[in-house]
Chains A and B, each alone.
Chain A
Amino acid sequence: MRSLSVKKIIAAILMMGLFFMQANAAAPFSGYEYSTDNYNGLIVSKRDIANAKPAPAAFVFDDALNSGRLGLDLPLNTPEDFACDDNGNAYILDTLNGRIVVVDKSLSKTLCIIRGWLPGDAENTRFTGGRGIYQVDGRLYVSLTQDKKIVSFEIPLFIRNSSEFKPEDGVELVSAEHGKPLVIDVTADRIIESPDLSAIRDTFDFKPTKLAADSAGRLYVVVEGIFDGLMMIDSSNAFTGFVGANRIKLNAIDLLWRRLSTEAQIEAQEDTVPIEFNSLDMDKEGFLYTTSKGNENEDLVRRLNLIGNNVLNQGTWFIKGELSPLVREGVPGSTSHLIDIDVIEGGIYTCLDNIRGKLFTYNSEGDLLFAFGGISAQRGAFRVPTAVEWNNGKILVLDKGNNEMIIFRPTEYGEAVIAATRTQYTGGYGESWDQWNKVLALNPHNQAANRNVGKLQYDQGEYHKAMQHFRLGNSPELYSQAYAKYRKIEAEKIIPWIAGGLILAFAALVLLKTFGFIRQSRDRWIFFREEARKYKERNSRK
């Protein structure tokens, strides 16, 4: 029942049209989502039914911060990662220049530049070759991949307070020229060197890339060349184990082959195992969200609990980034390559696909809320996107190809979706009624909105309306529940009529029978009377 290739080609042409279509000058891409309403069989979906449907843009291009805008003499050079603090300041890890550029929370100017992690002119205390930066509780963690260590320091007070520079402990002013950004050195109070893994591994090269930390100072690190999962390092800098390792799925045939193969053959098969984590983030509840390189059959996004099990809610669609590859299925590159993830309050998380330059935002139930972005030379599109963060309701993307940071601001639609999702996550869906209805008014195809409005109507007893919304929300299960109630009510309406009809029919039957009996009796009586008369007549004639 899969689609024919002709259909796919037509679909591809339609999709091309969709992608080249310009909504307005501000958005160099069109927003879309997956919906039940447009079927062309291109998507590999759980139910194989729906497709990308144009949706109102949820986020539009707001600003691009390049070196000139930031007032940097030395331009950014291949920044690999950035972090945002709770006030909205952004910390760009300028990898090849070995510094951290602190962008003010207004997202328009440089607040200061952190030159190194120990005061002094020594080259080896710069952030050169760093690949990951993470902020938690006013503390920055920077993984220096090239130097094989992780350094951590408190964010200086004047940055946190967005005030003028005042001398404070651990911060040393390097230069403060008028009209140029302040340059400072900080003192790293926690330096994590390569942990001792000699017990489990002969050779080990500690090359930390992306990392996350909790408020207790425990670190979760993606290490290059390590496939056992995320490395856990406790607050005393000791290695405590791996988390989130890939479970090898062996089926019966694999086991049979293993039984039949020689040891040398098994040895040669070992390299089929690993999964490589790309990036991670931690939510407020302590769950780790990871992205990994994977093929079509693996989970690209995981939500790991403390013991490393994937507890991510799968929604109606796969959480795999792009579901409608423009190239045909099975061709390399058709799967999204998710390289960064950022999770915010309300269980909302955004993944960055660096092949297509697209951002996919999901809610805690695993529904795609919106997708946007693209790779091109236009303003607001990317060249080599490398990291994504939310910042005060805006989405920031770091582009290491163009050496700039691109800012997206939410549209009315995007704001409505985010607000409704958050309200529902925190306060149940009762309060989100108006918000979801607003989303539906802006985009009648939004599946999450349809489902949630349907649930509310279900609670209010409007089962028929709920059914329609559940159908638009692509949920046969919920539709079935609403239909069960609706059917009961309808049946209760119809059953009296049926019962009444039956009773009437029965009564009519009884009446007919009775009349028939009466007529028969009368006829019989007339007949006997007649016979009796004839008999008498005959007798009297005699």
Chain B
Amino acid sequence: MKQTSSFRSSVMFAKVALFKPFNGFYELKYEGRGTVAAGILFLLLYYISSVIRAMYTGYIFNPSRGNPVNLGMIFLQSVMPLVLFCIANWCLTLMLDGEGTMDQIFMGLCYAVVPLISSNILCTVLSNLIIAQEGMYLELILGLALLWTGFLIVVSVMQINQYTFMKAVVACLLSIVGVAIILLIFLLCFNLIQQMFAFFQSVYKELSYR
């Protein structure tokens, strides 16, 4: 029977999710071994590690080190895509008879970004120790972490919705399209609201001049 585990054990569960993803995400769904709180913690850690990377990457690999770091921009670049992906994926899997709920999809994604947290920290430390010619190691680490995370996301979508592997891949790709559509609608609304605001402002101005 499904029961929620403690926060502490759900954080430790990341080890299972990372190294045995097929079992891990199955247990996440059916045995309630993950918690949303742990997911938020990982997301927060991912954000903090991204900020650290932007601030403390060695001078050789980040000549703009010392510039003020734009926290909002880093949030938009690191956390926002995941949140949008989560929403898009939920919308999509609802239509593609997936069995996942919003919190399961969110947890799956959050457990999947754990490799990125460690690669961010590792690269930041390494970049202060290595020279330009050794830069490919950084790229290698980041690339591997990205591949790993991508694989984990696909597996989480697969297990949480009880899809086949291929269907999960397709669902992930379609979710990316979904993210693009969400962004488009968002920008459209933003623009329209801005124009509407400007319109009311000018109406107010006209009235106040009378």
Complex Cα distance A479/B63, Å?
10
Query: Could you mark each residue 59-82 of chain B with 1 if its beta carbon is under 8 Å from any beta carbon of chain A, else 0?
Result: 111011011101001000000000
Query: Whole-angstrom distance from the CB of A315 to the nearest CB of chain B?
Result: 14
Q: Is the CB of A39 within 8 A of B67?
A: yes
Chain B contacts of A287 at CB under 8 A?
none
Complex Cα distance A480/B130, Å?
8
Chain B contacts of A480 at CB under 8 A?
60, 131-133
Residue from B59, B68, B73, B132 in contact with A471 in the complex, judged by beta carbons closer than 8 Å:
B59
Complex Cα distance A351/B61, Å?
33
Query: Whole-angstrom distance from the CB of B97 to the nearest CB of chain A?
Result: 41
Q: Is the CB of A4 within 8 A of B132?
A: no
Chain B contacts of A4 at CB under 8 A?
70
Residue A299 interfacial (CB < 8 Å): no
Which residue, B60, B63, B64, B70, has most C-beta atoms of chain A within 10 A? Answer: B63
Q: Is the CB of A48 within 8 A of B133?
A: no
Query: Whole-angstrom distance from the CB of B53 to the nearest CB of chain A?
Result: 13
Q: Is the CB of A477 within 8 A of B59?
A: no
Complex Cα distance A483/B129, Å?
9
In the complex, which residues 43-65 of chain B have their Cβ closer than 8 Å to any Cβ of chain A? 59-61, 63-64
Query: Whole-angstrom distance from the CB of B83 to the nearest CB of chain A?
Result: 20
Chain B contacts of A474 at CB under 8 A?
63
Complex Cα distance A15/B70, Å?
21
Q: Is the CB of B60 within 8 A of A476?
A: yes
Residue A306 interfacial (CB < 8 Å): no
Residue A495 interfacial (CB < 8 Å): no
Q: Is the CB of A476 within 8 A of B63?
A: yes
Residue A331 interfacial (CB < 8 Å): no
In the complex formed, the residue of B with least CB distance to A47 is: B63
Residue from A1, A39, A476 in contact with B59 in the complex, judged by beta carbons closer than 8 Å:
A476
Q: Is the CB of B63 within 8 A of A487?
A: no
Residue A49 interfacial (CB < 8 Å): yes
Q: Is the CB of A479 within 8 A of B59?
A: yes
Q: Is the CB of A487 within 8 A of B131?
A: yes
In the complex formed, the residue of A with least CB distance to B128 is: A483
Query: Could you mark each residue 457-489 of chain A with 1 if its beta carbon is under 8 Å from any beta carbon of chain B, else 0?
Result: 000000000000001001011011101100100
Known A1-B70, A477-B132, A484-B131; judge A48-B59 contact (CB<8 A).
no
Q: Is the CB of A479 within 8 A of B67?
A: no
Interface size classification for chain B: 10 to 19
Chain A contacts of B64 at CB under 8 A?
39, 47-49
Chain B contacts of A471 at CB under 8 A?
59
In the complex formed, the residue of A with least CB distance to B135 is: A480
Complex Cα distance A487/B67, Å?
25
Query: Whole-angstrom distance from the CB of B16 to the nearest CB of chain A?
Result: 34
In the complex formed, the residue of B with least CB distance to A39 is: B67
Query: Whole-angstrom distance from the CB of A89 to the nearest CB of chain B?
Result: 47
In the complex formed, the residue of B with least CB distance to A41 is: B67
In the complex formed, the residue of A with least CB distance to B64 is: A49
Q: Is the CB of A39 within 8 A of B68?
A: yes
In the complex formed, the residue of B with least CB distance to A1 is: B73
Complex Cα distance A480/B127, Å?
11
Complex Cα distance A477/B133, Å?
10
Chain A contacts of B129 at CB under 8 A?
487
In the complex formed, the residue of B with least CB distance to A485 is: B131
Chain B contacts of A479 at CB under 8 A?
59-60
Q: Is the CB of B63 within 8 A of A483?
A: no
In the complex formed, the residue of A with least CB distance to B67 is: A39
Complex Cα distance A539/B64, Å?
89
Q: Is the CB of B68 within 8 A of A483?
A: no
Residue from A1, A49, A481 in contact with B63 in the complex, judged by beta carbons closer than 8 Å:
A49
Complex Cα distance A483/B63, Å?
14
Query: Whole-angstrom distance from the CB of A489 to the nearest CB of chain B?
Result: 13
Complex Cα distance A403/B133, Å?
56
Which residue, A1, A47, A474, has most C-beta atoms of chain B within 10 A? Answer: A1
Q: Is the CB of A476 within 8 A of B132?
A: yes
Chain A contacts of B61 at CB under 8 A?
476
Query: Whole-angstrom distance from the CB of A495 to the nearest CB of chain B?
Result: 14
Query: Could you mark each residue 222-243 of chain A with 1 if its beta carbon is under 8 Å from any beta carbon of chain B, else 0?
Result: 0000000000000000000000
Complex Cα distance A406/B68, Å?
42
Complex Cα distance A462/B159, Å?
58
Query: Whole-angstrom distance from the CB of B133 to the nearest CB of chain A?
Result: 7
Which residue, B59, B66, B68, B73, has most C-beta atoms of chain A within 10 A? Answer: B59
Complex Cα distance A28/B4, Å?
74
Residue from B60, B66, B73, B131 in contact with A39 in the complex, judged by beta carbons closer than 8 Å:
B66
Complex Cα distance A487/B58, Å?
14
Complex Cα distance A481/B59, Å?
13
Chain B contacts of A477 at CB under 8 A?
132
In the complex, which residues 101-153 of chain B have their Cβ closer than 8 Å to any Cβ of chain A? 129, 131-133
Chain A contacts of B131 at CB under 8 A?
480-481, 483-484, 487
In the complex formed, the residue of A with least CB distance to B132 is: A480
Chain B contacts of A487 at CB under 8 A?
129, 131
Complex Cα distance A487/B128, Å?
11
Query: Whole-angstrom distance from the CB of B55 to the nearest CB of chain A?
Result: 13
Residue from A1, A41, A483 in contact with B60 in the complex, judged by beta carbons closer than 8 Å:
A483
Query: Whole-angstrom distance from the CB of B139 to the nearest CB of chain A?
Result: 16
Chain A contacts of B68 at CB under 8 A?
39
Query: Whole-angstrom distance from the CB of B184 to the nearest CB of chain A?
Result: 21
Complex Cα distance A475/B129, Å?
17
Complex Cα distance A484/B73, Å?
33
In the complex formed, the residue of B with least CB distance to A483 is: B131
Chain A contacts of B60 at CB under 8 A?
476, 479-480, 483
In the complex formed, the residue of A with least CB distance to B62 is: A476
Query: Whole-angstrom distance from the CB of B12 to the nearest CB of chain A?
Result: 31
Query: Could you mark each residue 47-66 of chain A with 1 if its beta carbon is under 8 Å from any beta carbon of chain B, else 0?
Result: 11100000000000000000
Given contacts A39-B64, A476-B63, A480-B131, 4 further A-B contacts (CB under 8 A): A41-B67, A48-B64, A476-B59, A484-B131
Binding site for B on A (CB under 8 A): 1, 4, 36, 39, 41, 47-49, 471, 474, 476-477, 479-481, 483-484, 487
25 A–B contact pairs at CB < 8 A?
A1-B70, A36-B63, A36-B66, A39-B64, A39-B67, A39-B68, A41-B67, A47-B63, A47-B64, A49-B63, A49-B67, A474-B63, A476-B59, A476-B60, A476-B61, A477-B132, A479-B59, A479-B60, A480-B60, A480-B133, A481-B131, A483-B60, A484-B131, A487-B129, A487-B131
9 A-B pairs with least C-beta separation: A480-B132, A49-B64, A484-B131, A39-B67, A480-B131, A480-B60, A476-B63, A476-B60, A47-B63
